[in-house]
């Protein structure tokens, strides 16, 4: 027994030193590497504990028990306790897969065969080269590429979508795009994808962190993790459920991984499901480390999390199935079954605190209690019974409301109500079959402007002196000629803005992107170019906002490619005479922008929202996506409206410029 005790003590001491060093990772990057072998240190300490117990050395046994406990607290959450099983849902199920293909995979046929028979709807591929994509496309018609940045090195990445998803999936891929992680340590692509189902949204981040095998790469991994943490927190703040899937190059008990999970507010899908070592495949199963992971949002239930078969790579694939769990309390969504087919594009607030929303399918809504409950209003319809598409609203005192219907020719109309939306009268009908109303805006004294697409080579602009009761068209001679392929966008009525006593602006897009400005209440206009995306009919400036100091922002992009980075914003400090392009860190299509209480601007698009200070500098924070944004009095509350008949209340700020 004495010899056994000595031998096991030597084993224990050999495990104890690196085990203690692993707790000091903040002092030296090599100590962080020792963290990943903590399972083996725990085994060595357990051997020493057993030896001390057999030799009846109580003090040694107590010592080794304490040392084992220090490691065990990090490993116990992974043990497969039965109570961690989650019941199958009645709603939609999201089936995902992840595979690190390995650029130098010696047996690519095994990976291709696995992909052919894989029963998933979407699969994330890492270390994906152009040759891998070529082989996948040649192997059959099972998959199509949703987003990809293939490379001949380990940073290549792609997201594949099944051409025929499972019948019970219930999820729709709204968009997918390649994004760049922090550029400090080189080109680091990731993939972001938005899934919609059951009135909720799940957003996926395909993530491949750097290997911490040198001091520089260890710092790079820390930056990758910080970027992923900020990304997850933005999604949760926007009411979406995040999933981070990929090769983290870390074990789940490592301090960086635990910090990411804790600070981002996510759950480890591996918890309660055993070790599931995924790398390196060349070693026997018990010696492999779990470095491929899936972190999920608190509103998701993990139904399945397991490893796939060997595919010739040094990693095993990861299979994940999640479903929707309880709805989180904030932000607060207000879905309406009767408007599920409507896309909301109009939001307005009355002086009495009432909220108004409008959208396609003839939908008009009113809330008298700050958005806690909504009433659908009777809406005017065309003579043939078709519904109007309401894209802008203006609310005045005394129950007077204007609703702008947008569409070709006579489908563009202004309706007026004097009884809080109970009945409506037509105030203006587009007289031009080639015309299309795009938006209107009003000064506090009731004067207003409406603009529409060019007719006979000139943008149609209308003036109202009396809250929209009567309208007069601005003479074409007072307008600069429209350029070939130039038009406006009726995205959310935000393409026109007014400020001060007589200043006004509206923006255009298509083959020419310009801002038209007036200093005399819309009687005469001048035009200036905007440094925003242009070319296709779907690209250009979609919205503009100016403060009382003459500082303004125009936003846009390409509406058919909302997740594509590009020239999406420009700032002016001189009332719109000159413009400076802005380059937000998160570049995506923006369809609406408003002035923020306390200074600055807030913009929103289908992918998300951004904040800018009064000089156009991007501020921290991230807002949920939608078509149009409304901020309440003082900015203490806000609302975003978007597709699928959803209104989303967002937390307000006393100052949006901080």
Got the DSSP string for 373-404? S-EEPP--B-TTSPBP-EEEEEE-GGG-EEEE
Q: pLDDT exceeding 90 applies to what percent of the chain?
A: 49
Q: For the segment 282-315, what is each residue's pLDDT rounded down to a tens digit?
A: 999 888 999 999 999 999 999 999 999 999 999 9
Q: Was domain 82-324 assigned CATH 3.60.10.10?
A: yes
* Predicted confidence (pLDDT) per residue in 207-222, tens digit: 999 988 888 888 888 8
Go through 183-220 and write b for each residue having 16 or more CB atoms within 10 A of its CB, e for each that does not.
eebeebbbbbbbbbbebbbbbbbbbbbbebeeeebbeb
The band of 116, judged by pLDDT with boundaries at 50, 70 and 90, is very high
pLDDT of 329 strictly over 50: no
User: Is the pLDDT reported for residue 563 higher than 50?
Assistant: yes
The backbone torsions φ and ψ at residue 311, rounded to the nearest 5 degrees and listed phi first, read -125, 25
The pLDDT of residue 621 is 58
Is the pLDDT at 340 greater than 70, yes or no? no
Which pair of tokens denotes residue 10?
């030597």
Query: How confident is the model over 487-500, as pLDDT tens digits?
Result: 999 988 899 999 99
Name the more confident of 89 and 413.
413
So what's the pLDDT on residue 83? 40
Instruction: Tell me which architecture the domain covering 332-651 has in CATH.
Output: 7 Propeller (2.130)
Under a CB-based contact definition with an 8 Å cutoff, are residues 571 and 532 in contact?
no
Q: Is residue 353 scored above 90 in pLDDT?
A: no
Per-residue pLDDT for 543 more than 80? Answer: yes
Beta bridge partners of 505: 497, 517
What Å distances lie between residue 503 and 19, 518, 522, 569, CA to CA? 69, 6, 8, 21
Q: What is the pLDDT of residues 120-164, one digit of tens each?
A: 999 999 999 999 999 998 887 889 999 999 999 999 999 999 988
Mean residue pLDDT of the chain comes to 85
With cut-offs at 50, 70 and 90, classify the pLDDT of residue 55.
confident
Closest CA to 461 of 502, 514, 501, 504: 504
Give the residue, 509 or 286, on which the prediction is more confident.
509
Rounded average pLDDT over 184-206: 86
- pLDDT, one tens digit per residue, over 416-442 is 999 999 999 999 999 999 899 999 999
CB 188 within 8 A of CB 219: no
H-run or E-run covering 84: none
635, pLDDT greater than 70: no
* From-to residues of CATH 3.60.10.10 in the chain: 82-324
Q: Which residue has the higher pLDDT, 449 or 164?
A: 449
Which residues are CB-contacts of 448 (< 8 A; sequence separation ≥ 6)? 394, 440, 441, 442, 463, 464, 467, 468, 498
What is the Cα–Cα distance from 293 to 235, expressed in whole angstroms? Answer: 19
Task: Please count the other Cβ atoms lying within 10 Å of the Cβ belonging to residue 431.
Answer: 12
Q: How far apart are CA 287 and CA 385, in angstroms?
A: 70
pTM (two decimals): 0.62
* Start and end residues for every CATH 2.130.10.10 domain found in the chain: 332-651
Cβ contact 354:370 at 8 Å:
no
How are beta strands 157-162 and 552-558 bridged, if at all? Answer: unpaired
Q: Give the model's confidence band at 79: pLDDT under 50 very low, under 70 low, under 90 confident, else very high.
A: low
């Amino acid at each position: 027994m004495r010899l056994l005790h000595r031998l096991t003590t030597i084993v224990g001491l050999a495990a104890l030193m690196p085990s203690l060093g692993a707790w000091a990772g903040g002092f030296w990057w090599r100590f962080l590497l020792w963290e990943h072998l903590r399972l083996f240190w725990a085994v060595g300490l357990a051997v020493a504990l057993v030896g001390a117990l057999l030799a009846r050395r109580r003090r040694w046994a107590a010592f080794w028990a304490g040392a084992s406990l220090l490691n065990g607290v990090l490993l116990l959450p992974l043990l497969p306790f039965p109570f961690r099983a989650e019941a199958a849902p009645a709603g939609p199920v999201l089936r995902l897969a992840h595979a690190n293909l390995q650029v130098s995979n010696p047996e690519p046929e095994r990976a291709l065969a696995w992909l052919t028979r894989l029963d998933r709807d979407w699969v994330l591929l890492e270390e994906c080269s152009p040759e891998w994509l070529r082989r996948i496309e040649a192997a059959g018609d099972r998959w199509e590429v949703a987003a990809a940045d293939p490379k001949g090195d380990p940073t290549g990445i792609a997201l594949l979508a099944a051409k025929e998803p499972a019948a019970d999936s219930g999820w729709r891929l709204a968009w997918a795009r390649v994004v760049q992680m922090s550029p400090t340590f080189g080109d680091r692509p990731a993939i972001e994808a938005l899934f919609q189902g059951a009135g909720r949204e799940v957003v996926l981040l395909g993530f491949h962190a750097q290997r911490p095998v040198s001091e520089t790469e260890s710092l790079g991994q820390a930056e990758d993790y910080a970027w992923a943490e900020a990304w997850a927190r933005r999604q949760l703040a926007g009411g979406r459920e995040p999933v981070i899937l990929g090769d983290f190059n870390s074990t789940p008990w490592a301090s960086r991984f635990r910090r990411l999970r804790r600070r981002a507010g996510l759950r480890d899908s591996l918890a309660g499901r055993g070790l599931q070592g995924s790398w390196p495949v060349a070693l026997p199963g018990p010696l492999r480390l779990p470095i491929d992971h899936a972190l999920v949002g608190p509103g998701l239930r993990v139904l399945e999390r397991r490893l796939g078969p060997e595919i010739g790579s040094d990693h095993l694939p990861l299979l994940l199935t999640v479903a929707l769990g309880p709805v989180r309390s904030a932000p607060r969504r207000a879905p309406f079954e009767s408007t599920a087919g409507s896309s909301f594009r109009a939001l307005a607030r009355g002086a009495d605190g009432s909220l108004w929303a409008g959208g396609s399918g003839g939908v008009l809504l009113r809330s008298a209690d700050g958005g806690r409950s909504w009433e659908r209003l009777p809406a005017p319809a065309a003579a043939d019974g078709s519904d109007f598409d309401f894209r802008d609203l203006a609310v005045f005192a005394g129950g007077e409301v204007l609703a702008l219907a947008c569409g070709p020719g006579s489908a563009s109309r202004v309706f007026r109500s004097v009884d809080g939306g109970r009945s409506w009268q037509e105030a203006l009908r587009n007289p031009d079959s080639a015309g299309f109303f795009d938006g209107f805006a009003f000064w506090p004294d009731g004067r207003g402007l409406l603009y529409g697409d060019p007719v006979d080579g000139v943008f149609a602009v209308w003036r109202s002196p009396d809250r929209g009761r009567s309208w007069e068209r601005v003479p074409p001679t007072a307008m600069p000629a429209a350029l070939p392929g130039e038009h406006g966008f009726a995205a959310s009525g935000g393409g026109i803005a007014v400020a001060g006593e007589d200043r006004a602006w509206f923006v255009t897009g298509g083959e020419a992107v310009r801002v038209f400005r007036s200093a005399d209440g819309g009687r005469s206009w001048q035009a200036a170019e905007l440094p925003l995306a242009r070319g296709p009919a779907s690209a250009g400036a979609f919205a503009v906002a100016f403060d009382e100091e003459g500082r303004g922002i125009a936003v846009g992009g390409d509406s058919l490619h909302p997740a594509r980075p590009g020239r999406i914003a420009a700032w002016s400090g001189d009332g719109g005479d000159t413009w400076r392009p802005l380059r937000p860190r998160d570049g995506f299509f923006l369809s609406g922008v408003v002035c923020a209480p306390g200074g600055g601007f807030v913009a929103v698009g289908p992918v998300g929202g951004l904040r800018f200070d009064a000089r156009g500098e991007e501020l921290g924070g991230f807002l949920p996506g939608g078509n149009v944004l409304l901020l309440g009095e003082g900015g203490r509350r806000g609302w975003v409206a978007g597709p699928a008949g959803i209104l989303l209340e967002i937390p307000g700020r006393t100052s949006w410029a901080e």
